[in-house]
Amino acid sequence: MSVNKKIIETEATPPPPDNAFNILQWTGNNTTNNQTGAGFNPDLIWCRDFGGATNGSNAPRVVDTTRGLNSLYMATTNNQSNEYGYNFLNDGIQLTNSNSGWNRTGNTYRGYMWRANGGTTVNNTDGSITSQIQANTDAGFSIVKYTGTGSASATVGHGLNQAPEFIIAKSYSTTNSWGVYMDDGTDHIFGYIGANATTTMNINYTSGGGHQLGPVTSTYFTTSHIGTNNSGQSFINYCWHSVPGYSKIGSYTTGASTKITLGFQPDFIIFRYVVNGEWYVQDIKQWDGSSYGSNGGKLIKSYWNLNQYSVPTPVPTGGVEVVSDGFYPTNWFRYWSSPAQGVFYAAFKIQP
């Protein structure tokens, strides 16, 4: 191979970003509990209680450095809570009291952590609404905060170098569902997490036509519909786009037996059946250490539901077989639906 060809290939395929995403797991102790090893100062943490209880304390929590230390419940329509008991660290998270959602004695917890801009926000005027953003453009991730105007044609700058393919939006000043925008490269899809999660997704809608989100290159559209731009309400949005070697957002069709090629081993995958169904998560920490699939990959047999409080549900023969450059949907994640339908996914590799 010539030197020139090597240079061209290196420029065309940059290395995956550092300081982007990690997963920490800990055991609650009902007192000060420092959990480090993320490799960076996390700006967004999804926390999941994997203990045996099935009450509200098991709901996935979300906290970010833009809003501060108030958590949001991922599985509900609640507004911002007054639940504290944690601090952001340069390398992880500190649990400071017996907060039931993060640090109950003996319970196992997992924190999914993304880095944006270390908690530093800047004003963005790319859209008709001024937003406060912190962005990690190398990792294709930004946190966007703004106040709704009620306009059906408003735009909001997201701070990334290309259009987001996956956006999770929430008003944290009132009670409503989480809105979710997805672009799998073919369709533009809108749905919900929370109370309306199992409703049919809106596919290939027209921006500003009553649906909530629709990104373009440097802005995304919002409307006056609940969840994205109600007048006077405070909104937080988490935005991602695919980054080679680190993250991939796309879809596949149930019944397919082929590998979903990503270009990396996925350590965290979010799934959603497009027509109907729930949001499911599988991650590498759920691998039992000994189960392998027919292709030699790690067979992950448990998943958890973003919309439920219950602990992870095991799939007898595995939900996903993870290999070095992608995954094979197996059993439930492959055959659940008849007739076949699309499954949206967002996959990430641990990049400390």
Condensed to tens digits (0 to 9), the pLDDT of residues 37-62 reads 999 999 999 988 887 554 445 778 88
DSSP, collapsed to helix, strand or coil, labels residue 143 as strand
Q: What percent of the chain has pLDDT over 70?
A: 75
Predicted pLDDT at 290: 94
Among the residue ranges 27-36, 171-180, 319-328, the one predicted with the least confidence is 171-180
The answer to whether the beta carbons of residues 179 and 227 sit under 8 Å apart is yes
The answer to whether the beta carbons of residues 239 and 156 sit under 8 Å apart is no
Closest by CA to 249, choosing from 349, 137, 179, 348, is 348
DSSP, collapsed to helix, strand or coil, labels residue 113 as strand
Instruction: Report pTM.
Output: 0.89
- Output 317 or 66, whichever has higher pLDDT: 66
pLDDT 10s digits, 138-148:
999 999 999 99
Mean pLDDT computed over 23-28: 93
Q: How far apart are CA 208 and CA 307, in angstroms?
A: 27
Predicted pLDDT at 52: 56
Query: Where do we find the tokens 């230390």?
Result: 69
Q: What percent of the chain has pLDDT over 90?
A: 41
Say if residue 335's pLDDT is above 60: no
Exposed/middle/buried for residue 14 (C-beta within 10 Å: 0-12, 13-18, 19+)? exposed
Q: How far apart are CA 134 and CA 145, in angstroms?
A: 9
Q: How far apart are CA 240 and CA 247, in angstroms?
A: 9
The answer to whether the beta carbons of residues 128 and 223 sit under 8 Å apart is no
- Residue 114 pairs in a beta bridge with 21, 44
Say if residue 210's pLDDT is above 50: no
Closest by CA to 328, choosing from 263, 257, 268, is 257
Q: How far apart are CA 55 and CA 329, in angstroms?
A: 30
User: 66-90 burial by CB neighbour count: b if 16+ within 10 A, else e?
Assistant: bbeeebbbbbbbbbbeebebbebee
- Output 234 or 100, whichever has higher pLDDT: 234
- Residue 23 pairs in a beta bridge with 112
